[in-house]
Amino acid sequence: MIEEKIKSCLKKGDKTIEEVSKELKISRPTISKYLLVLEIKKKVSYRNIGKAKLFTLKR
């Protein structure tokens, strides 16, 4: 399941959409969609770093 892969990736540290996309070899738009879903479920949060969003797994 993509959500589980993303959460596992973010356990290693905060990452941007681009970094998660490259690590999991899944397209950036797909990762963006699933991160939005995880944010709605309150599983991840993000902060803006310039133009990028840095995602963090909520504990």
Domain ranges of the chain: 2-57
- Residue spans of alpha helices (H) in the chain: 2-11, 17-24, 28-40
Q: Is the pTM of this model over 0.85?
A: yes
Please give the Cα distance from 20 to 49 (Å, whole number).
16
Q: pLDDT (tens digit, 0 to 9) for every residue of the chain, 59 residues total?
A: 999 999 999 999 999 999 999 999 999 999 999 999 999 999 999 999 999 999 999 97
Q: Which CATH architecture has domain 2-57?
A: Orthogonal Bundle (1.10)
